[in-house]
Amino acid sequence: MSFFAALGRPEVLDLARQTHYFWALLPEIVLTLGAMLVLIVDVIHKGDRSEPSRGSIPVLTLAVLAATALANTALFGLRDVSANGMVAVDGFRTFTNFVYLVAAALCIAISMGYLERRGIMKGEFHALVLFATLGMMLMGGSRDLIMTFIGLEVMSVPIYVLVGFDRMDPRSSEASLKYFLLGAFSSGFFLYGIALVFGAVGSTNLTYIAETLGTGTDHGHERLLMAGMALTLVGLGFKVAAIPFHMWTPDAYDGAPTPVTALMSTGVKAAAFAAFVRIFAVAFADAGAQWVPVVWWLAAVTMVGANLVALTQGSVKRMLAYSSIAHAGYLLVALLSGGDTGKAAFLFYILAYTVMTAGAFGIVIANSRDGEERVTLEDYAGLGLEKPWLGAAFSIFLLSLAGFPLTAGFLGKLYILRAAVEGGQAQLAVILVLASLVSYFYYLRVIVVMYMRPARSEGWHAGAGLPLAARTAVLAACVVVVAMFFAGAVPMRWAEQSALSLWRQPAPVAASPAPASLFR
């Protein structure tokens, strides 16, 4: 990191000094500037004419994401010696930031061609994706509940807009409205939960909360804290789409333009989970006796319910929505497993899941046409025979989602199961195995239909395909899914180091004995 050191980056950050926030927030700053640049460039291009944006806009967007990723590397090896920063400076944040950036990049890549076909090729789309990504980074990297909430809203509002981006399509608008209403509803719960936690503990700083709960001192507000934790859990449960807070998911995923669906089921979910880990597995770690049984049930019900309902879906896109709910259940198991192995398994899985899910939605896009989505099971009949590359890629993504060996999904599930068994959650591990057994049926059914049923009509699949850039992205995702199986140790080692940094207590700093939170 000598490059950033040469630019004047300190070796150790102390967020008690305001200027150090520049370095701590460098990726976010780059991303914000980039998003604005995209917006402005688009406006300059178009002037007052109403026409589709130029093809250079997505390229510029990808460049912004790449620059952000580069800026993100500035966080490598950095740590924060203050006790009260608003953002976390640790490997966990670096890792998850990369996941959001990958999700956003794949979303942009597979949207190429798709937006033109639906007539919604507008620069706002790309700017909104970037702003949503900014929200993800803020939410997942926050070390303060207020910051988490701000990040959540920064992420959610662009997503509400993106879901309803195709204003001409009533389904898109309907999905957007539903998501917005329920999202606002759940944000209320989340905010109320934050307020109650603050009332009980006296701070919104996660480190402070962790230390207070860790010392075991009776703060006299046990019930208040419990209620606060419960409502916080509801808010996060909504965002990660855990049953019974999942009901918006199928409708919103189904109605939204498919690239947005991909972003929602990958980046948004990852950010919500990162916040989940920071709040529950770190800040509330010592109140585990209270929240672990509740989350246990959430995980179990989510895994079983989502997989069962997914069985009956006739639409592949909707099936993938339920599949994403089911995967939320698996990730909750990793979170419950506790310890470094659990966190590492979580990180590995969220990366694998992001790549394979975005790839699968890429194929869904490839199969869509002008004006029609073509998402029913019958629409996929014969795809594997007529478009062997698309069929093979989709098969790999589906097998990986099911957790079949030779794919990243298998290794991810294996790590989660190992963490669960080591962490004393053997029952959940059994439920996970049984639930994913059910999931094999609906994943494999798509493969069966692709290869063993004749196409609806002659030339049905003639127009299926992706433009070059999108094709490259899907191919890359495919390669990564397989490579993560064979070279799984590499990302796993990174995930383990990142998980370790999450647990590392900030170095004791004598200068700041009391947390200086805004609300203290």
418 CB-side CA count, 13 A: 14
**What letter represents residue 178's amino acid?**
K
**Under 8 Å between Cβ of 346 and 429:** no
Which of residues 224 and 414 has its CB atom nearest to other proteins in the complex? 224
For residues 102 and 477, what is the distance between their CA atoms, to the nearest angstrom?
10
Least CB distance from residue 420 to other proteins, whole Å?
Answer: 21
**What letter represents residue 380's amino acid?**
Y
Least CB distance from residue 307 to other proteins, whole Å?
Answer: 8
Which of residues 288 and 465 has its CB atom nearest to other proteins in the complex? 288
Least CB distance from residue 395 to other proteins, whole Å?
Answer: 22
Least CB distance from residue 238 to other proteins, whole Å?
Answer: 7
**What letter represents residue 414's amino acid?**
L
Cis, bond preceding 158 (omega within 30 deg of 0): no
Least CB distance from residue 276 to other proteins, whole Å?
Answer: 14
Least CB distance from residue 178 to other proteins, whole Å?
Answer: 5
Which of residues 446 and 466 has its CB atom nearest to other proteins in the complex? 446
Q: How far is CA 384 from CA 45, 206, 458, 492, in A?
A: 41, 50, 14, 32
For residues 104 and 123, what is the distance between their CA atoms, to the nearest angstrom?
15
Q: Is 285 exposed, middle or buried (0-12, 13-18, 19+ CB in 10 A)?
A: middle
Which of residues 157 and 247 has its CB atom nearest to other proteins in the complex? 247
Least CB distance from residue 338 to other proteins, whole Å?
Answer: 18
Could you list the residues that contact other proteins (CB under 8 A)? 177-178, 181-182, 185-186, 189, 223, 226-227, 229-231, 233-234, 237-238, 244-245, 247-248, 250-251, 289-291, 293-294, 297, 305, 308-312, 438, 441
Q: Which of 244, 238, 303 is nearest to 275 (CA)?
A: 238
The residues near 126 (Cβ < 8 Å, ≥ 6 apart) are 38, 42, 53, 57, 58, 60, 61, 108
For residues 326 and 477, what is the distance between their CA atoms, to the nearest angstrom?
21
**Under 8 Å between Cβ of 342 and 419:** yes
Q: Which of 273, 423, 265 is nearest to 358 (CA)?
A: 265
Which of residues 330 and 442 has its CB atom nearest to other proteins in the complex? 442
| CA 39-186-227 angle, 5° bins | 135
Least CB distance from residue 443 to other proteins, whole Å?
Answer: 14
Question: In 233-283, where do the E strands start and end?
Answer: none
**Under 8 Å between Cβ of 266 and 354:** yes
Phi/psi at 277 (nearest 5 deg)?
A: -65, -45
Least CB distance from residue 241 to other proteins, whole Å?
Answer: 12
The total number of residues written for the chain in this structure: 520
Which of residues 309 and 416 has its CB atom nearest to other proteins in the complex? 309
For residues 518 and 86, what is the distance between their CA atoms, to the nearest angstrom?
10
The residues near 373 (Cβ < 8 Å, ≥ 6 apart) are 258, 317
Which of residues 212 and 439 has its CB atom nearest to other proteins in the complex? 439
List, in sequence order, every residue forming a beta bridge with 376; answer none if it has no partner: 315
Which of residues 347 and 402 has its CB atom nearest to other proteins in the complex? 402
**What letter represents residue 494's amino acid?**
W
Which of residues 296 and 460 has its CB atom nearest to other proteins in the complex? 296
Which of residues 234 and 331 has its CB atom nearest to other proteins in the complex? 234
Q: How far is CA 76 from CA 129, 255, 332, in A?
A: 25, 39, 27
Least CB distance from residue 139 to other proteins, whole Å?
Answer: 20
Q: Which of 187, 216, 144 is nearest to 520 (CA)?
A: 144
Which of residues 132 and 295 has its CB atom nearest to other proteins in the complex? 295
Which of residues 79 and 171 has its CB atom nearest to other proteins in the complex? 171
**Under 8 Å between Cβ of 117 and 259:** no
**Under 8 Å between Cβ of 380 and 391:** no
Which of residues 438 and 482 has its CB atom nearest to other proteins in the complex? 438
Helix axes 388-402, 426-452, angle to 10 degrees: 160
